[in-house]
């Protein structure tokens, strides 16, 4: 059996969220952007991409073709509405059956490779790659063990079901794609992954969309006063993303501005409730009221890319205070627009932000430390402007074109190793051995 040097057709599995969904709504976030952007870039290179995702509305067509070379298949699995990620493990059987039925209508060998995104998709990818006799590439995007090691106060730990499910997929995948060297090391230390099967592929930003532009025009469009220093949060509203840390840290600065001790400061929060944040959808509004700064905090719903670009351009600083972040696309998008970033020094944010040059990294989530970091940039506009210029240059090395190039290299490695392992019988032996060790409790 032989395979092409690079895939002709790839099946991307994205169970819980569609690449066509608006990031910031429900469970849609950076992974949506990643799947959509990499699919588009792969298609431009002549690779046909088919994306399998769960249908969330009866109005959705079974098949959508948003771009030449990209097909989205909306698979019916469970009720269209009312389910979130926590409910989806019970629907994986139905989803897998739908994927299998779609493949059964094609000629044998239709897909050359499966690339799964997030552990739920990995469970499906593992089964269909075995069935189709093709390699499995898996990107975790987030890891339960990492999230549980740095939970926000009041947040809910990821269940053991997910931890076990992730371990199974990591054991079975032919290649693992990590966003950073840090994530690669976590896969090894926390999941005993084989380092030889890990490829580090750095995510990017749409540099054609996110670029420096007129601050005045952006502020006029958003209705933001020109004399305010704007600190912006963009993301899903949930404890993991820690927007409450930003609001609490900004409160004493806003109070000082009210006393005339410094320029006016406005906090701009862009996003919608998600995950455990759905339990308290008004928590941030209540916090701002409790701190007495409601007039200085503006909330906007999730924005499409063209509008989000204007949000970044209208900002003086973008804050990414997450407790866990495998990379942090918001940090790159903001920097591509020439805006410095203050971020928590967790996960991939240490790669996304060049500390002291394009922004600041804050160790931990102590409110005082975040207040100090904000004050440093708010009170030094010249240094902030210099960081913005450096940020725009820094972001140029993170493009989706580069990400697609790296993914293709990973796909080629997967195809080569798969061909060799099938020919030698090693692949079947490797999987048999894993299952035997698992049953033995090793």
Residue 23: the pLDDT is 76
| 125 annotated binding-site participant | no
Residue 56 sits in the same domain as residue 171: yes
| 312 annotated binding-site participant | yes
Q: What is the domain count for the chain?
A: 2
pLDDT tens-digit profile of 50-59?
Answer: 999 999 989 9
Residue 238 sits in the same domain as residue 155: no
In a domain, 3, yes or no: no
| 135 annotated binding-site participant | no
pLDDT above 70 for 433: no
| 82 annotated binding-site participant | no
In a domain, 210, yes or no: no
- Exposure string of 312-337, with b = 16+ CB inside 10 Å and e = fewer, is bbbbbbbbbbbbbbbbbbbbbbbbbb
| 325 annotated binding-site participant | yes
Give the strand pairing for 70-75 and 63-67: antiparallel
pLDDT tens-digit profile of 189-202?
Answer: 999 999 999 999 99
Percent of the chain with pLDDT over 90: 79
Residue 374 sits in the same domain as residue 418: no
Range 412-420 average pLDDT: 91
**CA pseudo-torsion sign 428, 429, 435, 436:** positive
In a domain, 163, yes or no: yes
Residue 80 sits in the same domain as residue 159: yes
pLDDT above 60 for 439: no
| 85 annotated binding-site participant | yes
Residue 247: the pLDDT is 97
| 376 annotated binding-site participant | no
When the pLDDT of each residue in the chain is averaged and rounded to a whole number, the result is 91
| 37 annotated binding-site participant | no
pLDDT tens-digit profile of 252-299?
Answer: 999 987 777 667 999 999 998 755 545 555 889 999 999 999 999 999
Q: Which residues contact 354 (CB under 8 A, 6 or more apart)?
A: 390, 394
Residue 222: the pLDDT is 94
Give the CA count within 13 Å in the CB-facing half-sphere of 299.
Answer: 21
pLDDT above 80 for 244: yes
Residue 436: the pLDDT is 33
| 79 annotated binding-site participant | no
pLDDT tens-digit profile of 19-32?
Answer: 888 877 777 788 99
Residue 441's pLDDT band, with cuts at 50, 70 and 90, is: very low
In a domain, 1, yes or no: no
| 213 annotated binding-site participant | no
CATH of the domain at 36: 3.40.50.2000
Residue 421 sits in the same domain as residue 312: no
In a domain, 295, yes or no: yes
| 307 annotated binding-site participant | no
Residue 405 sits in the same domain as residue 389: no
Range 399-427 average pLDDT: 87
Residue 240 sits in the same domain as residue 188: no
Question: Rounded distance, CA 381 to CA 317, Å?
Answer: 11
Question: Rounded distance, CA 321 to CA 219, Å?
Answer: 24
For the record, the structure tokens of 334 come out as 């903001």
| 280 annotated binding-site participant | no
| 86 annotated binding-site participant | no
| 290 annotated binding-site participant | no
Phi, psi torsion values for 358, nearest 5 degrees = -110, 0
| 118 annotated binding-site participant | yes
Residue 438: the pLDDT is 37
pLDDT tens-digit profile of 86-140?
Answer: 899 999 999 999 999 999 999 999 999 999 999 999 999 999 999 999 999 999 9
Question: Rounded distance, CA 114 to CA 134, Å?
Answer: 7
Residue 419 sits in the same domain as residue 391: no
Give yes or no for a contact between 358 and 337, defined as CB atoms under 8 angstroms apart. no
Residue 30 sits in the same domain as residue 135: yes
| 160 annotated binding-site participant | no
Percent of the chain with pLDDT over 70: 92
Residue 190 sits in the same domain as residue 275: no
| DSSP per position, 3-52 | --SS-SEEEEE--SS-TTSPTTSTT-SHHHHHHHHHHHHHHHTT-EEEEE
| 238 annotated binding-site participant | no
| 27 annotated binding-site participant | yes
| 80 annotated binding-site participant | no
Structural domain including 289 reads 215-395
């Amino acid at each position: 059996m032989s395979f092409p040097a690079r895939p002709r057709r790839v099946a991307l599995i994205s169970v819980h969220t569609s690449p066509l969904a608006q990031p910031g709504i429900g469970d849609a976030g950076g992974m949506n952007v990643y799947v959509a952007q990499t699919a588009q870039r792969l298609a431009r290179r002549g690779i046909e991409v088919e994306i399998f995702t769960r249908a969330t509305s009866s109005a959705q067509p079974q098949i959508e073709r948003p771009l030449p070379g990209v097909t989205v298949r909306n698979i019916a699995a469970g009720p269209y509405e009312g389910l979130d990620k926590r409910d989806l493990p019970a629907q994986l059987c139905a989803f897998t059956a739908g994927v299998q039925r779609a493949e059964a209508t094609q000629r044998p060998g239709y897909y050359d490779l499966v690339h799964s995104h997030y552990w739920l998709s990995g469970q499906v990818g593992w089964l269909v790659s075995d069935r189709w006799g093709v390699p499995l590439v898996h990107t975790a995007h987030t890891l339960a063990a990492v999230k549980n090691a740095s939970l926000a106060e009041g947040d809910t730990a990821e269940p053991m079901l997910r931890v076990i499910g992730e371990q199974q997929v990591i054991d079975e995948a032919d290649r693992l794609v990590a966003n950073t060297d840090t994530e690669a090391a976590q896969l090894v230390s926390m999941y005993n992954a084989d380092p030889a099967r890990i490829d580090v592929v750095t995510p990017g930003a749409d540099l054609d969309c996110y670029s420096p532009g007129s601050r005045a025009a952006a502020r006029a469009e958003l209705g933001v006063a020109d004399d305010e220093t704007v600190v912006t949060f963009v993301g899903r509203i949930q404890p993991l993303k820690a927007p409450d840390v930003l609001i609490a840290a900004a409160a004493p600065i806003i109070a000082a501005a009210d006393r005339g001790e410094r320029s006016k400061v406005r906090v701009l929060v862009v996003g919608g409730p998600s995950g455990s944040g759905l339990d308290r959808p008004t928590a941030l509004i209540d916090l701002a009221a409790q701190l007495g700064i409601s007039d200085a905090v503006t909330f906007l719903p999730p924005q499409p890319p063209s509008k989000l670009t204007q949000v970044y351009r209208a900002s003086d600083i973008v804050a990414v205070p997450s407790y866990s972040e495998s990379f942090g696309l918001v940090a790159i998008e903001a920097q591509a627009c020439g805006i410095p970033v203050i971020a928590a020094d967790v996960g991939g944010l240490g790669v996304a932000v060049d500390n002291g040059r394009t922004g600041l990294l804050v160790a931990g989530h102590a409110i005082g430390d975040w207040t100090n970091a904000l004050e440093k940039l708010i009170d030094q506009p010249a240094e902030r402007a210099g960081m913005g210029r450096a940020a725009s240059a820094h972001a140029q090395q993170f493009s989706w074109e580069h990400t697609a190039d790296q993914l293709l290299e990973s796909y080629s490695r997967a195809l080569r190793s798969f061909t060799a392992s099938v020919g030698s019988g090693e692949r079947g032996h490797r999987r048999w051995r894993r299952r035997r060790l698992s049953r033995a409790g090793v």
